[in-house]
Amino acid sequence: MRYLVVYDIGDDRAREKFAKFLEKFGIRVQLSCFEVECTEEEVKRIVKRAEELIEPAGDSVILYPLTANALKQEVVVRGGRKWSSSL
């Protein structure tokens, strides 16, 4: 399943570690946003890693599922995609 992972992590080192970790699963689409393709187990790994790195009081990591229907309706204003929208 594809997910859009967005994060707001204040600590530079933690943010860089999390971004490097996410590169294993997908591509960066914005500065703090990745599109990833992963299994349910891999989602659990992402959540676990986020919990290890974030400060619960101020940081956040959100995973939005990207359904096939949602991907068909995608609008890109600028930039290219490395993945096709067709599943």
Q: What is the pLDDT of residues 46-80, one digit of tens each?
A: 999 999 999 999 999 999 999 888 888 877 777 66
Q: pLDDT for 5-25, tens place per residue?
A: 999 999 999 999 999 999 999
Beta bridge partners of 30: 33
DSSP 25: T
Sheet holding 60-66, edge to edge: 26-30, 33-37, 2-8, 60-66
Percent share of the chain, pLDDT over 90: 75
Closest CA to 61 of 12, 1, 19: 19
Q: Which domains does the chain have, with CATH numbers?
A: 2-72 (3.30.70.240)
